[in-house]
Structure 1
Amino acid sequence: MDPQTTTPGRSCCEEFAQVGLSRRGFLGGALATGVATTFGSTVVQVASAPQADAAPAGARAVMVVLSLRGAADGLSLVVPHGDPVYAQARPRIAVPADRLVAKDAFFGLHPALSPLLPLWNGGRMAAVHAAGLPAPNRSHFSAMEELEAAAPGSSIRSGWLNRLIGVDANPSPLQAMQVGEGTPPAALYGSQPFLSAGNIENVQLAGADQWDTHRGRPRSLRTLWSGQKDALGSAMQAAFTAVDTFQPARTSPKEPHNGATYPGNSLGRALAQVARVVRSGVGTEVVTVDHGDWDMHTDVGNLDWGMMKRNATELAEALAAFFADLGALGDHVTVVCLSEFGRRVAENANWGLDHGYGTVMLLLGAGVRGGYHGRWPGLTNSHDSDLLVTTDYRSVLAEVVKARFGTSTAAVFPGFTPSRVGAMVGQ
């Protein structure tokens, strides 16, 4: 699908429109690696019995992986105004240099990211430009799978986050979870347990509702499985423990703390729930959240209108509210924003951008060394020009993993030797 064919009036390629269904089909097969138990709209994938964790709120390091689905244009989010080709290649959609925020001699942030300036000015937000996959891949579905497996050329059939939690000898089903709408990412799938919840209030046993006044249904389920010692019985017992352990998060107050106000979109709702999970101290260390649609073949727009202004505003407002809500707990939370690939350098005829290669990664919160990072490759202005990748995205993730969890990256990114990026303190 290269070069892309763009149809006026369509903001999304056919592949991305279907990618949700395609990913569900792929991930359905991945469930065979463990036992999936469904409670209402919640899925608990369990491969081993959980280990209870009574750590107080904020004691654990937490990493939130926020996926910008659809291939976000890093050149619009973090603008290389110092490269003259940028403005030449985008006569209608280039962000004017005099409107950028957090501007230095070469880079600046899209003004819609202004809500994040307190984090940036406090040295708690970093941008790693020209980052991405080791080789171009313009297919949403294939690129997502490659990005989330993070083991190219390997026979390993698990995601990098599943391997991360697998470093623990006996990980809990609550150690990693997906929050919000959509399918859990392939990064979470593998032999280790994790929790997926569209709404954290739904993390309960099926039938445990207002009509079960005597709590008979959950009691019957526990009795039924209490004597089973096979794999399914062990999985059910682990799921019962997970539901019980998650109770403080499920019943926690919904009102944000510290006067935070979340936007009323899906990202805002998801991050509000993540803040409740962090605050409840149930032992969750890895959380994934999705935000889309960033597949802007048309209507990227400018500073007055368009999809880029809308999406960047949603992203910034939700993240700003999240860190305000967390308050001092934000000192334990690191957010990683990444996308499967970027967009072309030159705009197309429909005020849009077709599939490209390199993009930008954003890091926010605990352990982040603020500022602009990465090696700039320079831009060229032609129909098929890409932002080339000079930083393998795994090098960025490896620094986060090592800095926040003290974990050897060899098990998480097999066969890969990270290059130093310097976006995390001590790395």
Structure 2
Amino acid sequence: MTTSPCCSEYAALSRRGLLTGAVALAGATTVLGSAVVTTSAATTPASSVLVVVSLRGAADGLSLVVPHADPVYYTARPRIAIPSDRLLVKDGMFGLHPELAPLLPLWNAGRLATVHATGLPAPNRSHFSAMEEVEDANPGSSVREGWLNRLIGTDASRSPLQGLNMGEGTIPTSLFGAQPVMSAGDIDGVWIPGDDQWDATGGRRASLHRMWDGNASPLGRAMQSTFDAVDDFNPVRSTPDHADTYPRSDLGRALAEVARVIRGDVGVEVITVDQGNWDMHADLGTVEWGRMNRNAADFAGSLAAFFDDLGALAGKVTVVCLSEFGRRVAENANYGLDHGYGNVMFLAGAGVVGGYHAQWPGLSGDLDSDLTVTTDYRSVLAEVVEARFAASTSTVFPGFVRSRVGVMS
């Protein structure tokens, strides 16, 4: 058994702390949490599914959703601004980056929305600290517990299949907490090592059961729940893989796997996915070239392919895309942007009220200016939680008094 905690915040976990939680490994899959684990609800299809895509590295929301009517935008970015005549679905203030064209069918169907000038209640320009703060969504708390873990804890189920991180590496802070969750690099990695076609007699699995079934310790219970979770996940492994319809990228591959999970209908309710490389201090580029174009094209193409892949099941899936913070208003000397504050969030799918949403603060022309945050990102997430899960927003976001955004119906 191994675990893979990330960053310094998890280094403080003691051996005793790990062993009192339900932590187990099956193939490339981690089952993590400290609540009593069951899998009785695992085969119950989820009525709503939330997919959270984290744009790691601080995406520049002013390039993705351009405030073309704010004159400061063009003054502050003489080389990297997106020309107004190249923007998509312009209204009186905003337009989409041209590389987001694959998302136009969702936009035109009223199933894609953006919320601009969102972010943390106070600036935080440290990637790791801001990620943790965004994913904890409980400022000032010393409890290691993410908002998605609290969300799945609002019902009676304790199945580790409720929450899934799809990707290599560790479970994000948003899923970390008492409720059991799973993490997998890919669907085919959800298995018991040695329990394969070469073990004709089933000896490896039988040996593991003899070792753990009579063990009443937390680790023994964790192993037993792992056996059950892997078995309950089997319908997903038999679903077809449509990865050839997605961009050949990490995000495309991850969302293809997420679509398989949703089609498998084994009770997964919240899923996390990452897209990296948004930290563009240099070579963000122009409308014709640069890293922003490549990342935006991958983001849009992967998300569009995901909804196409889901077909009729898209009616129960909501996607939220967010980043840890935004970037400065003014470009730097390297065709890039330094760490900023306010940003844009994307929402797509079930329950979304399409279009541009914002309390626009206006941009400042100062060299070191940020986009001011006028909407706490938790207000957006709270509308998703309430609309799609009928869950207590005061439980998921303790002590937070939200403002109405109007992005969910």
CA shift for structure 1 position 173: 0.4
Partner residue, 1:344? 328
> What is the distance in 2 between the residues matched to 1:379 and 1:155?
35
CA shift for structure 1 position 55: 5.6
1:300-324, Cα deviation, whole Å (9 max, x unpaired): 1012110100000000000000000
1:379-407, Cα deviation, whole Å (9 max, x unpaired): 01122100000000000000000000000
| Residue 93 (structure 2) pairs with residue 110 (structure 1) | no
After superposition, residues 274-353 of structure 1 pair within 5 angstroms as 274-353=258-337
**SS, match of residue 310 in structure 1:** helix
Aligned pair count reads: 401
CA shift for structure 1 position 54: 6.4
> What is the distance in 1 between the residues matched to 2:276 and 2:383?
26
Contact map agreement 1:182 1:290 (CA 8 A) in 2: no
Contact map agreement 1:177 1:195 (CA 8 A) in 2: yes
Partner residue, 1:271? 255
Contact map agreement 1:46 1:238 (CA 8 A) in 2: no
Partner residue, 1:4? none
**SS, match of residue 35 in structure 1:** coil
| Residue 347 (structure 2) pairs with residue 363 (structure 1) | yes
> What is the distance in 2 between the residues matched to 1:387 and 1:108?
17
After superposition, residues 134-173 of structure 1 pair within 5 angstroms as 134-173=121-160
CA shift for structure 1 position 154: 2.1
Given the alignment, which residue of 208, 218, 232 partners 2:205? 218
1:183-221, Cα deviation, whole Å (9 max, x unpaired): 221111111100000011110112223432222111211
Partner residue, 1:389? 373
> What is the distance in 2 between the residues matched to 1:344 and 1:46?
38
> What is the distance in 2 between the residues matched to 1:75 and 1:420?
23
> What is the distance in 2 between the residues matched to 1:50 and 1:376?
46
Partner residue, 2:168? 181
Structure-2 change in CA distance of 1:276 and 1:403 (3 Å): same
1:42-78, Cα deviation, whole Å (9 max, x unpaired): 1111432223236675x52000000000000000000
Partner residue, 2:58? 71
Partner residue, 1:3? none
| Residue 33 (structure 2) pairs with residue 42 (structure 1) | no
The answer for unaligned runs of 5 or more in structure 2 is none
**SS, match of residue 245 in structure 2:** coil
Partner residue, 1:14? none
Stretch moving more, 162-171 or 190-199: 162-171
**SS, match of residue 174 in structure 1:** helix
RMSD: 1.7
TM-score normalised to structure 2 length: 0.95
CA shift for structure 1 position 280: 0.6
Contact map agreement 1:85 1:380 (CA 8 A) in 2: yes
Given the alignment, which residue of 3, 17, 41 partners 1:53? 41
Partner residue, 1:203? 190
Structure-2 change in CA distance of 1:146 and 1:54 (3 Å): closer
**SS, match of residue 393 in structure 2:** coil
Stretch moving more, 47-56 or 296-305: 47-56
Give 2:265's aligned amino acid: G
> What is the distance in 1 between the residues matched to 2:109 and 2:83?
25
CA shift for structure 1 position 28: 5.2
> What is the distance in 1 between the residues matched to 2:21 and 2:116?
37
Percent of pairs identical after alignment? 63
> What is the distance in 2 between the residues matched to 1:35 and 1:295?
35
Structure-2 change in CA distance of 1:165 and 1:195 (3 Å): same
Give 1:212's aligned amino acid: D
> What is the distance in 1 between the residues matched to 2:72 and 2:316?
40
| Residue 401 (structure 2) pairs with residue 414 (structure 1) | no
> What is the distance in 2 between the residues matched to 1:22 and 1:137?
23
CA shift for structure 1 position 29: 4.7
**SS, match of residue 283 in structure 2:** coil
Give 2:231's aligned amino acid: D
Give 1:26's aligned amino acid: E
**SS, match of residue 160 in structure 2:** coil
> What is the distance in 2 between the residues matched to 1:181 and 1:22?
12
| Residue 81 (structure 2) pairs with residue 97 (structure 1) | no
Stretch moving more, 35-44 or 297-306: 35-44
Runs of 4+ in 1 over 4 A off after TM superposition: 28-31, 54-57
Partner residue, 1:9? none
TM-score normalised to structure 1 length: 0.91
> What is the distance in 2 between the residues matched to 1:124 and 1:272?
20
1:345-403, Cα deviation, whole Å (9 max, x unpaired): 00000000000000000000000000111200100112210000000000000000000
**SS, match of residue 395 in structure 2:** coil
Stretch moving more, 160-169 or 78-87: 160-169
1:3-59, Cα deviation, whole Å (9 max, x unpaired): xxxxxxxxxxxxxxxxxx9944434556737232112221111432223236675x5
